[in-house]
Structure 1
Amino acid sequence: MTEPTPTAPAAPTEAGDIMSWDDLFGRTQPQTDIRIAYGEGDLQFSELWLPEGDGPHPVVLMIHGGCWQTDIAERDIMNWIAEDLRVRGIAVWNIEYRGVDREGGGYPGTYEDVLAAGDSLMQNWDRYNLDVEPIVAIGHSAGGHLALWLAARQSAFTGQPLTGDVRLPISTVISQGGLPDLEAGILREGHPCGVEAPRLMMGNQPELTSPQRMPAAMARQILVNSDRDRIAPPEYAEAYRNANLARDATNIELVVIPDEGHVELVSPGTDSWNRQVELIEEALDR
């Protein structure tokens, strides 16, 4: 099944089963009241989860998934883990963007949104007393592709095409059950995300859109996957890692969590999320 929108009703799973989206959405959803626009469109904004205290606050840049489609998921699918990081003293810059099912989405619009959201973070860090040296970027599912792409984009910062104003100081990128290989995605008949969404995201430009076809990211890449994930099984991450190792990109590792699925990756209290918290805090030297 594809990822439902965050308004789905709760329905508990049986003991020993993996989580469903209903299990997560049945929890009270945290909210933040800080929204920063980076464009004029309804989906061109980020939400800041700001810890208590004066700071400076370390930062995680967060990118939601949903098969690159706004109708499937928006940024609030990440609210639970954003709040979990906030109460740990870590600020979260949770970005929204146009999916392929919205005007201007796909290539190049979705990428331009991600770049503009990153620029907006660097333009506002002083206002909110954020510590952006370094930044950890994380993304779930399709957002994992975008997070890995953003890290690779910093290594290929040429100014053209897909111009962003600043180079983000991303030291570590975490792909949470990501779908990084768009070319492989186009060939996955029967996959819940379908083949049209990755095709629209690639736009016949794999060297600009698929991270393994771009210059290798300088950031440390951590692929966190759950072994019962039916959307992004560990084999996808292993293939991506092997493609990078074949071109001597050694700063990439695969972490597989047993007995959990796709939803656990963005659900506080799970083994998958607890391991990611450890990795984030390590990357931020906390």
Structure 2
Amino acid sequence: MTHLEDGLAHRPFTAAAAALLAAVLIVSGCSETESPATPTTVAATPVATRLQRHGVVPIPLAYPTADSADPRQNFGDLYLPTPPGGRAVPLIVLYHGGGWRYGAGGLSGMDPLAQVLVAHGLAVFNVEYRRLGSGGGWPTTLADARDAGDFAATLRDRYAVLAGGETIAVGHSAGGQLAVWASQHQRRPPHAVISIAGPLDMTYAALHGDRFVRQFLGGLPAAVPAHYALADPSVNPHLSSPVIVLAGTKDRVVPISVARHYVEDTAGPGQPTMIEVPGASHTSLITPGKIGFAQVVGTIERVAHGMAVGAVTISRRG
């Protein structure tokens, strides 16, 4: 049993448990009072190298983790647009999907969305993380997502173009779950979170045939209740940031019923905003030119610039 598992064994995931988890995950990382280290650049990825030829120059930055980081996986590509005169640039933190599994997906899967967002004047930190089959899985992948989010928050202090701008976490599929989960555990939560086709009610998804959730968490809820207590956003309804849930009506990977169930589970103050996209599939939402992609980009832009989306109005905070 790991130190993280030990802290959660036979214990409901209450606010007290969340506080304990936050302390445990920081054990070997930076404390909140420590000055953040200078960003460490890493070798450019093949995708980043190809983008450079088209005038887009992402900066690959390693982020620190609560354990021994893997520089091949614990990094993100930072895209900085040409800054508009006199206006802070919002930062979009992207978490890719792929069922939390190595070899499925990867940060390159979010690259088309990143390019479009940068072209629209937004900064992007496209995150890679450890997954099942590459040193990740429960709970390491969760910790990586949290650590990447904490690191992304410090970028606003290090790059003048980002100073004073909003930070918005956006995740697709498994990355949607990671984005919401990370926002609940970061020292500096994002201003808002947008889940695109994310399995946010993991208990419901696992019980209705989602093998990726079961593989990631190690079984069904009855077999590993502590794993679901930690990872499932619907089990911990406290939202540190407003959450917007985008889901396609034609999604066959994460059916729209999962998103609806999550929104119902978290009813009350701070309830997530649900946006159903007619005709959109699991991947069309993040594929340029496909059904729902323009709506995804438009939603991200509105949220990033503090505009109301449904019942959600994003308030600025430090």
Inter-partner Cα distance in structure 2 for 1:270 and 1:172: 25
Equivalent residue number for residue 264 of structure 2: 242
Aligned partners of 2:217 and 2:228 also within 8 Å: no
2:214 aligns to what? Answer: 195
> CA shift at 1:282, angstroms?
1.8
Distance 1:243 1:97 in 2: 28
Distance in 1, Cα, partners of 2:283 & 2:51: 17
Q: What residue in structure 1 maps to residue 23 of structure 2?
A: none
8 Å Cα contact 2:201/2:259 also seen in 1 = no
Q: 2:59 aligns with which of 9, 12, 34?
A: 34
Distance 2:208 2:251 in 1: 16
**TM-align CA RMSD:** 2.4
- For residues 183-227 of structure 1, what are the alpha-carbon distances to aligned partners after superposition, in whole Å with 9 as ceiling and x for unaligned? 2343343x4636212437996233321111124213221111111
Does structure 1 residue 219 correspond to structure 2 residue 241?
yes
List, as ranges, runs of 4+ consecutive aligned residues in structure 1 with deviation greater than 6 Å.
200-203
SS class of match (1:113):
helix
Question: Greater strand share, 1 or 2?
Answer: 1
In structure 2, the partner of 1:232 is 254
TM-score, normalised via structure 2 length:
0.69
Residue deviations 1:243-273, cap 9 Å, x none? 011xx24431211111221111111233412
**What does residue 192 of structure 2 align with?**
172
CA pair 145-219 structure 1, distance change in 2 beyond 3 A: same
Higher relative contact order (CA 8 A, sep 6+): 1
Change (3 A) 1:57 1:186: same
2:158 is the counterpart of 1:127: yes
* 1:148-167 pair list within 5 angstroms: 148-154=180-186, 166-167=187-188
What is the correspondence of 1:99-114 to structure 2 with a 5 Å cutoff?
99-103=131-135, 105-114=136-145
Partner of 1:144: 176
User: Could you say if the C-alpha distance between residues 171 and 213 of structure 1 is closer, same or farther in structure 2, counting changes exceeding 3 Å?
Assistant: same
Q: CA contact under 8 A between 1:100 and 1:200: conserved in structure 2?
A: no
Counterpart amino acid of residue 59 in structure 1:
L
| Number of the residue aligned with 1:266 | 286
- Structure 1 unpaired stretches of 5+: 1-28, 155-165
CA contact (8 A) 1:107 1:200 kept: no
CA distance in 1, matches of 2:293, 2:305: 18
Greater C-alpha radius of gyration: 2
Q: TM-score under structure 1 normalisation?
A: 0.76
What does residue 46 of structure 1 align with? 76
Number of aligned positions between the proteins? 242
